[in-house]
Every structure is written in C-alpha cells, then in structure tokens.
Chain A
Amino acid sequence: MKKRASIIGGAAAIAATFVVFVIPFIFIVLMAFKDRQQSALRDFSWPTGFHLWENVFEVVKTRNWMMITAFINSSIITVVSVTLLVIFAAMVGYVLARRRTRWNGLIEFLILAGLMVPPAVVPTIWLLQGLKLFGTLHGMILVEVAYNLPFSIILYRAFVSTIPRDLDEAAIIDGARPLDVFFRVVLPLLWPVTVTNIVVQSVGIFNDFTNPLYYLPGNANATVQLTLYNFQSQFSTAYNLLFTNILLITIPPLLVFLFFNRQIVAGMTAGAVKG
C-alpha cells in the first residue's frame, strides 16, 4: 500500500520535474538542431533536418572565430584564478585555523564583509586603469581572485580545523621549514577540500557575466558569457544559432556535473552552511 503510494508520488514528481526542469533543456537542444526557418517559430517541435554541425560551425566562425578566442580566454581566466585562489586561500585558511592572534577577529570580519559587501565597480575600474590592468586578462584574474577569496578561505579554514595538529607538528619537529610543511604535508592533506574548491570556483568563474562585463571590455578579451550576450543581437533573427551557442556553453558545466556531482554538492552546502 505504502509502496504503491510512493510509486504514484514518484511518478507525479518525475512528471512535474520533467516539465519544469527538463523541457527547457530539451528545447535548447531541439532548437540547436533546427535550421533558421524552423527555429524562427520557436515552438517545441522535432527538427525537420539535422543541422547541428552546420549551426555549430556557423556559431564558432562568427565574427572571426570569436567563440574560439572566448573559450581560450575563459579557460585562462578560470584556470589561473582558481590556481591562485587555491594556493592563497589554503595558506590563509591554514594559518587562520592553527594560530590564534589578535588579528583573527579582524580577518574573520573582513572575510564576512567580502561575502556581503557588493564590490564598488567604478572605483575598481579607476584603480585598474591606474595600474594599467583595466581590460586585461591579468586584471580580470586578480579581480576574480579578490572577489572569491572569502568563500575559499572559509572552506579551507573549516577543513583544516578537522585535521589533527600532530601531523604538521611532527613535520615541524623534524625541522622542516614552514613552506615545506605547507606544500609537502598540509596541502596534500587538504586535497578533498581543494577538489571542492576547484570545482565550485571553476563553475562560478566560468559562468561569471557581471565582472567581465565591467572589467573586460573589447573583443580581444571576450569571454564565453559575454560572447553569448553580444551574439544576442547578432543572432536576433537566427534562433538556431543563438541556442546552439547556449548549448555549447552548457557543455562544460555539464561535464563538471557528470564527473564531480558529489564534490560540488558537498562544497556548495558546506560553504553555505559555514557562510
């Protein structure tokens, strides 16, 4: 009796979530397979022909292969800023959890402030211009690091405090220098939370739209999100290409989701609960 209720409930839930959560994605995929005329109808119909590859080719070569530039730029920004984030945040989280000084209160306050305070955009642009970093990938990477540090630090600090002190103290007694202790002993121990950090921050930075919009003007520096946004007007009469573009930029998060589902859920909940 109970079993049947659960099956009925399950079927209802599957149907409802299918309509609400799955159909929009199927819509994207179907649109990406259509030709221009059919996609202009914007309806939920089966593609009359297989046009995916020509759509992909068309999108990728638009404006002098801008998608390629964009994917390269986004990859550079994501990889470099996540690397820096992991190293910087792990160093801070490690010392913050291990050593109690009168600065701890201030540091924790600054971390919380970083999670809440909206970045002051125009002054940042002004400052980046002064440093000759405005509109450059370097500047963008540093901004991403600065804005995402608090979240990463919180994850690391929480994790470090669950590792027994004996482990790093043993290495210290052996006479290892702090940097060696950190890179040889501590960082490897932090691997699980590092994976979480990498996955969560990569998705966030790869999907970031607002910050590149402000800090990375110009075509040479386009990122994938900006490219999609800019192609909106270019493809205003070519919905097949617009949705092919959406499909293309959905693939990286889909891969992350398939391979790191567990870490990403763990990381987002852990970070959230602590934050």
Chain B
Amino acid sequence: MTKTKLIALMGASTLGLMLSAGAVSAQQSGYLSILVDNGPQSIATMEAWAEAYKAKNPDVTIDIEVRPGGGEGDNIVKTRLATGAMADVFSYNSGSLFQAINPTQNLLPLTTEPFQAGVQESFKSVVSAGGEVYGAPFAPAMGGGIFYNKPIYEELGLEIPKTWEEFMANNEKIKAAGKVAVIQTYADTWTSQLFVLSDFYNVLAQEPDFAEKFTANEAKFATSPAALRGFEKLQEAAEAGFFNADFGAATYSDGVRMIATGEGAHYPMLTFAIGAIAETVPDHLNDVGFFAQPGDSADSNGLTTWMPDSVYVAKNTASPDLAKDFVAFIASPEGCDVRNEAVGATGPYMVAGCELPADVPPSVSDMLPYFEGQGQNAPALEFLSPVKGPALEQILVEVGTGSRDAASAAALYDEDVRKQAQQLGLAGW
C-alpha cells in the first residue's frame, strides 16, 4: 500500500524506473477473480497472463471466469456491475460501450497508476470518463478492412486495390475464374457490419466533422453521401453475386477457414481474426494478406482502426492493490511478451516498450504501414461517438440478403440510433 503510494508520488517516472519499481512491489498475495470474454484468443491470453503472474507471485490465486461476447456479454457485464457482483478484474470494450457501463460509478480510476505513463494517449482517451482513466489495453490495436487470399491473387495476377472500383474489378475476375470473391458469414450476425464500419476512414476523409455532428443529431447516415457509401458498397457486392453460396448459414469460424484455405478470396473483417487463423489453420497463416477498405479515390487510402478492448478494475473489489498490480503487469512489456508467446502477434501494441516479434505473419506486416504513416489511419466511429444502434447487424444482413436497399437501410439505422441516443440521455435528440 505505502509502497504503491510512494511510487505514485514519484509521479512522472520513466518507463524504466517504473519497471524496476514494479519488480520491487512484485511479491503480492491474495485472491483475484477475473472475467473475460469467451473468444479463444481472450481466454488463452488471460490464462497465460495469470500463469506468468502466479509464477512471479506464488501466494496469489487467480480464478478466470468466462462470459459470452456480443450483446449477451454486454448484458452480463452491465448487470453484474449494477448488482455489485463483478469480478475484481474484467475485460470489456473501450469507446462507446465503455461509456455505457457507467464508469465513474462502477470502476476504480487508474489515472495515477505508474504504468499509465507507457500507455498511448489515443488509447487512454477511449477509456476515460469524467477526467479519469479507467483501463489498460487488453490487446494490440486492430484494423478493420479486407483480408485477401494471397495464392488466389498470385494465380489470377491481381493487384492490391486502392479504390473501390479496382476492388470490384478484382472481384469480377475472381468470380469469372469460378471462385468465391467475397466471404460473408451471417450465422454470426455481427460479421455483417464490416463493410460499413471499416468504411469510416473514407467517411472522415470527406466529412472530417461527421462524428461530432452525428453525436449532436446533425448528421445522418441516410443524408450524408459519404456515410451512405458503406451501405451502398455492401449492396453492390451483394447484387453482383460475389458471396459464397452458404453466406446465410456460414459462421465466423467458417469465414476464417475459407479465407485461409482459399475457399474465398476476400473476407471483410477485423484484424483480430489473425489470431483465429493462427490458431485454427496455422499452416495457411502466410497465405492471408490484408488491406484497408478502399474508398472512391486513390488519393486517400487509409485504415479504419479499432482500439483494443481494455481491462478494468471493479470499484468494489476486495483487493484493489493486487488488482492494480495485475493490470500493471498486463500493460507492461513483459505482459506483451507473454501475449506474443501465447497467441502470437496480431497488431501494434499500445504500450511503450512492447515489441512485435521479428517474424510477424504477412497480414500483420500489411497492416503496420497504415499505423506508421501520418493520416493513414482514423478511428472507427464507435471511438468518436457514444452513439451506436444495436440493430445495425440485422439491418445489414437484410442488405446482404437483398431484402432491403442501402438507402432505406441507412434510414432505418438512423432511427435505431435515435433510440440509443435517447436512452443515453444525450442532448439534441
């Protein structure tokens, strides 16, 4: 306790100092409960961290509990926080979903923890509320874009598309060669959103203030031509008949397998799928590449990025010091190494001093340049605005199956968003 305070008082410690201080305060004891989502990556990472931490602190016992992802997971996190039954440490989304779990009331502030010195500001901004920082990065940063199968590209002599037009031309050639051009997996409804969500870099390129206006109820998907493009792109791909035959019944794991083994040429997805490919079809990891979802002009080509999930400490935890120490371990270069070891590298880390291994898979090395260049990336809408309607995935399944057109889908989504904004009590709705 006093030790931690002392470190906190030292304030702006350098990263190196912080690490050695961490080593001094290492001998912790007690019990820690952890709640993590049920993605195989998340479980494996958390288990590896727990093992490594217990190896350093033999007197600590850690229990890992697993919850479902998606809407059901949101619900469990919300109700457990509301009823005071949350685990000591838990992982959850950053950005708009983080704002919805009432952080100032339910979470322990981590603003003054020494490890925050090494965490990137862009991440802190999406786990902050009321002037306090509440989280530490659970994973590397992600991009939303399009995975492609390299052998198919080589076989057909295709180039990485820089515009939507080029992308559609590639699809045409792939289809003409008798292959599946675009993989869609609507048995896992959430996967339908990628064409729209990953298009946000292109929206911002044309309307830099879209997010603020959207939050203030001044900009709409249906009435902003740039924002509507995402819906239209999905409709165009659907109408051209580029999808796999079983797109309505395929699952996310089917999609991961298909893009890796060449059963399909493109799969719009978040880059966390790299971890799933590495786990389920490791032999084909080097067959998968990645590019940002192209816009309408080759001049602005960039990646829509996602901040990783975060780990939080529940306000009413019985052992706050232990919980904070464990979170500090996760957000240390050592924690990153443990993660690299457990599930491999999936993207750039948000913590200073964290290194990617030298032999990253091509999909990761394809993604890194977007993060390095200036103006080559922009955050997804959910990190700039608290407003995200819950029915987007179903609405986009309707577009993908051809039962609704882009314009009416966008209008329907605007209506869905209104409910969310009202529920959050935002001004102007």
Contacts and interface: CB of A to CB of B under 8 A. Distances in A.
Interface of A: 63, 125, 129, 134-135, 217-220, 230, 233-234, 236-237
A217 B85 CA distance: 11
B75 A217 contact: yes
Nearest to A66: B66
B67 interface: yes
Q: Is the interface of A mostly helix, strand, loop or mixed?
A: helix
Interface string B236-259: 000000000000000111000100
Contact of B253 (A129, A134, A135, A236): A236
B253 A217 contact: no
Given A236-B253, A237-B253, A218 B76 contact: yes
A129 B82 contact: yes
B79 interface: yes
A135 to B, nearest CB: 6
A236 B65 CA distance: 20
B38 A218 contact: no
Contact of B68 (A125, A135, A230): A230
B44 to A, nearest CB: 13
Contacts, number: 35
Given A217-B75, A219-B67, A135 B280 contact: no
A219 B85 contact: no
Interface of B: 38, 65-69, 75-76, 79-80, 82-83, 85, 251-253, 257, 280
Contacts of A220: 65
A217 B38 contact: no
A27 B280 CA distance: 26
A218 B68 contact: no
Contacts of A237: 253, 257, 280
A219 B79 contact: no
Nearest to A220: B65
Contacts of B66: 63, 219
Contact of B85 (A218, A230, A233): A218
B379 to A, nearest CB: 28
A259 B252 CA distance: 43
B38 A135 contact: no
Contacts of A233: 38, 68-69
A220 B79 CA distance: 14
B251 A217 contact: no
Contacts of B79: 125, 134-135, 217
A135 B251 contact: no
Given A134-B83, A135-B80, A237-B280, 20 more contacts: A63-B66, A125-B79, A135-B79, A135-B85, A217-B75, A217-B76, A217-B80, A218-B65, A218-B67, A218-B76, A218-B80, A218-B85, A219-B65, A219-B66, A219-B67, A220-B65, A230-B68, A233-B38, A236-B251, A236-B253
A137 to B, nearest CB: 14
B68 to A, nearest CB: 6
Nearest to B68: A230
A65 to B, nearest CB: 13
B33 to A, nearest CB: 10
16 contacts: A63-B66, A125-B79, A129-B83, A134-B83, A135-B80, A217-B76, A217-B79, A218-B65, A218-B85, A219-B66, A220-B65, A230-B38, A233-B38, A234-B38, A236-B252, A237-B257
